[in-house]
C-alpha cells in the first residue's frame, strides 16, 4: 500500500521526530540525577554517541523507542500498514546497528543498559532497575 502522504509532507512529518532530549531520555536522566549520579550526554568519542554516559562508573544507558528499535513483544513496536517493506528494513537496520554499537562498547570495557520507552511508565520499577545497574547487582 502506498503512503497516504506526499513525499514532501512525509518528510515534514519525519523532520519533527526528535533524536536527542526526548521525553523518555529526560525522565531517565532525572532519575539518575536524583540518585546523585552525574553523566555526559551523547558522548561524541564513543561508538553510537550513547544517550547517557556515566564516565566515572564506566556505564552507559541507552534509551530506545520501542517502535524505532523493534522492542520484541511490545505493543508499541507494531509494523505500520503503509510502506511496510520500508519500515521493516529500517527497524531491522536499527536493531543491527544497536547490536553492533553495544558490542563495540562492551569490547571497550563499558557496561550497557537499554531502557525501553514502555518501561518509563512505571518510574519506581525503572528507578530500581537503574539503581541495580549502577550498583552492579544485575
The three-state secondary structure class of 127 is helix
Give the ranges where the chain is alpha helix by DSSP (H).
7-15, 23-34, 84-107, 123-135
pLDDT tens-digit readout, 29-66: 999 999 999 999 989 899 999 999 999 999 999 999 99
Question: Would the pTM of this model clear 0.75, i.e. be above it?
Answer: yes
In angstroms, how far is CA 57 from the centroid of its own chain? Answer: 20
For the domain spanning 21-135, the CATH number is: 3.40.960.10
pLDDT tens-digit readout, 71-110: 999 988 888 888 889 889 999 999 999 999 999 999 999 9
Q: Are 80 and 58 contacting, i.e. CB atoms less than 8 angstroms apart?
A: no
Amino acid at each position: 500500500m502506498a503512503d497516504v502522504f506526499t513525499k514532501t509532507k512525509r518528510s515534514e512529518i519525519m523532520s519533527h521526530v526528535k533524536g536527542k532530549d526526548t521525553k523518555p531520555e529526560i525522565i531517565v536522566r532525572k532519575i539518575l540525577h536524583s540518585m546523585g549520579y552525574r553523566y555526559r550526554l551523547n558522548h561524541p568519542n564513543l561508538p553510537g554517541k550513547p544517550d547517557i554516559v556515566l564516565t566515572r562508573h564506566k556505564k552507559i544507558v541507552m534509551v530506545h523507542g520501542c517502535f524505532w528499535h523493534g522492542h520484541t513483544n511490545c505493543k508499541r513496536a507494531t509494523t505500520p500498514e503503509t510502506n511496510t517493506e520500508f519500515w521493516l528494513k529500517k527497524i531491522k537496520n536499527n536493531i543491527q546497528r544497536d547490536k553492533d554499537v553495544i558490542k563495540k562498547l562492551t569490547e571497550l570495557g563499558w557496561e550497557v543498559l537499554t531502557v525501553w520507552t514502555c518501561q518509563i511508565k512505571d518510574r519506581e520499577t525503572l528507578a530500581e532497575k537503574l539503581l541495580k545497574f549502577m550498583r552492579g547487582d544485575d
